[in-house]
Amino acid sequence: MAEIKHTLNDGVLTISLSGHIDSANAADVEKEIAALREQAAPHTVVLDCDALQYISSAGLRIVLRLKKAVSDTRLVNVSPEVYEIFDMTGFTEMMDIQKAYRVISVEGCEVIGQGANGKVYRIDPDTIVKVYLNPDALPEIHRERELARTAFVLGVPTAIPYDVVRIEGGGYGSVFELLNATSFAKLLIRGEKTVDEIAKMSVDLLKLIHSTVVKPESMPDMRAVALDWAAFLKDYLPSDQFEKLYGLIEAVPEDNHMMHGDYHIKNVMLQNGETLLIDMDTLCHGHPVFELASMYNAYVGYSELDHDNILSFLGITYETAGELWCKMLALYLGTTDEAAIRQTEEKAMIVGYTRIMRRTIRRNGLNTEDGRAVIENARRHLTELLMKVDSLT
């Protein structure tokens, strides 16, 4: 093993290991690590194993003693071969050991899905990767994998990621195998399915999701999230409007049924005749009005002032998106009564425009002409709707 390289930053001592650590050099390696630790007095030790090819039981004992000396000791960039050694010996259960991630490029790849937190690319005929917008997304990735597993076990057809990768140029992604899968958006754009067919398939899956009861601690409560949206607007709405808005959302009963949270035609795939849900990081539980609000925004609200938004987002016209939304809402409610459909739409709009107004303000919208137009449009809708809607359920 070559000379140990190290860095110290804010109490975090990073030590780079390389080559082989075995009985022939373990004593020298441990002595050098001990000297570095004594000199630095770190609160955290990170062993970077990017160049480590093999570690024997003698090396494992070094790691174990280091863990006892500095409780916050972790290993990163561990190759699959070395990781297997740590896994077989139980080290992965007692400390943080992170595998090295292979690097892939998504340059030139087709975007087949898009959500609030990332984009989904097809990287080959059988494989897709979700690339997260947050460059430090590893906790989000692990959380989404757990949410996807939860949904799958409960009977919701969803893709389970089988690998985590680094993206060339920065960031991380989750890899899924989706052989012959095509998004509902593409089926509609190609003319392979009609608006009526897409609406029917979308609602069938949506009803399955909404019929699924979850443990409330297993995923976020959408009512609590929506209350935060409303609370943000306290300084941007007249007091009477704010109080009614907050009260309406607060009065929505707690509900332990599953919601997707970002349900639209780029997040549903057709694979060998079966619908399949993707982009599970927004999975939550709550009353259906919150899901319908998200859907209203996806098909209507976000593109109300600029119809080109829906073309770049879903690849369909604003008119087609509006038609799809109306047909899905009617199918979901199981009625053709226009008054009943409109009443439900208005409830969804209140939550939807609350989110749009907050989102735009937080993204510096008050300081741009387009942003101010979106904020004022949301404010206008809320003013009109809050005068006539007395319940969101």
Q: What is the pLDDT of residues 20-56, one digit of tens each?
A: 999 999 999 999 999 999 999 999 999 999 899 999 9
Strand-pairing partners, residue 53, are: none
Give the span between the Cα atoms of 300 and 319, in whole angstroms: 9
CB atoms within 10 A of CB 213: 11
Model confidence at 350: pLDDT above 80: yes
pLDDT of 139: 83
Q: Looking at the structure, do residues 380 and 328 belong to the same domain, yes or no?
A: yes
Query: Which residue range forms the structural domain that includes residue 140?
Result: 104-177
pLDDT of 133: 86
Task: Look at residue 392 and tell me if it is in a domain.
Answer: no
Task: Look at residue 393 and tell me if it is in a domain.
Answer: no
Give the span between the Cα atoms of 28 and 36, in whole angstroms: 13
Q: What is the pLDDT of residues 207-249, one digit of tens each?
A: 999 999 999 999 999 999 999 999 999 999 999 999 999 999 9
Q: Looking at the structure, do residues 236 and 145 belong to the same domain, yes or no?
A: no
Q: What is the pLDDT of residues 165-179, one digit of tens each?
A: 889 988 889 888 876
Q: Say which residues have a Cβ less than 8 Å from residue 384's Cβ, sequence separation at least 6.
A: none
Could you write out the DSSP letters of every residue in 140-184? HHHHHHHHHHHHHHTT--B----EEEEETTS-EEEEEE-TTEEEH
Burial letters 101-131, b for 16+ CB under 10 A, else e? eeebebeebeebbbbebbbbbbbeeebbbbb
| Domain final residue pick, 157, 177, 197 | 177
pLDDT of 300: 98
Model confidence at 2: pLDDT above 60: no
For 15, phi and psi rounded to 5 degrees?
Answer: -115, 125
Task: Look at residue 15 and tell me if it is in a domain.
Answer: yes
| Domain final residue pick, 69, 100, 131 | 100
Q: Looking at the structure, do residues 272 and 293 belong to the same domain, yes or no?
A: yes
Q: Looking at the structure, do residues 89 and 129 belong to the same domain, yes or no?
A: no
Q: Looking at the structure, do residues 75 and 164 belong to the same domain, yes or no?
A: no
Say which DSSP state 43 is in: S
Q: Looking at the structure, do residues 94 and 109 belong to the same domain, yes or no?
A: no
Helix (H) or strand (E) holding 189: helix 184-190
pLDDT of 3: 61
CATH code (residue 110): 3.30.200.20
pLDDT of 217: 92
Q: Looking at the structure, do residues 229 and 249 belong to the same domain, yes or no?
A: yes
Give the residue, 102 or 340, on which the prediction is more confident. Answer: 340
Task: Look at residue 52 and tell me if it is in a domain.
Answer: yes
Q: Looking at the structure, do residues 11 and 37 belong to the same domain, yes or no?
A: yes
CA gyration radius, the chain:
25
Give the span between the Cα atoms of 139 and 144, in whole angstroms: 9
pLDDT of 181: 84
Q: What is the pLDDT of residues 108-160, one digit of tens each?
A: 998 877 767 788 898 888 888 989 888 878 888 888 888 988 999 999 999 87
Give the chain's domain count: 3
Cβ atoms of residues 382 and 240 within 8 Å? no
Say which DSSP state 303 is in: G
Cβ atoms of residues 207 and 333 within 8 Å? no
CATH code (residue 312): 3.90.1200
Q: Looking at the structure, do residues 219 and 331 belong to the same domain, yes or no?
A: yes
Q: Looking at the structure, do residues 204 and 247 belong to the same domain, yes or no?
A: yes
| Residue 93 tokens, joined | 């259960």
Task: Look at residue 18 and tell me if it is in a domain.
Answer: yes
**Which residue from 375, 188, 209 is spatially nearest to 299, judged by alpha carbons?**
188
Strand-pairing partners, residue 14, are: 7, 46
| Residue 105 tokens, joined | 């490029």
Q: What is the dihedral of CA 61, 63, 66, 72, to 10 degrees?
A: -140
Q: Looking at the structure, do residues 329 and 366 belong to the same domain, yes or no?
A: yes
Give the span between the Cα atoms of 9 and 20, in whole angstroms: 26
Q: Looking at the structure, do residues 291 and 376 belong to the same domain, yes or no?
A: yes
| Domain final residue pick, 177, 204, 233 | 177
Task: Look at residue 260 and tell me if it is in a domain.
Answer: yes
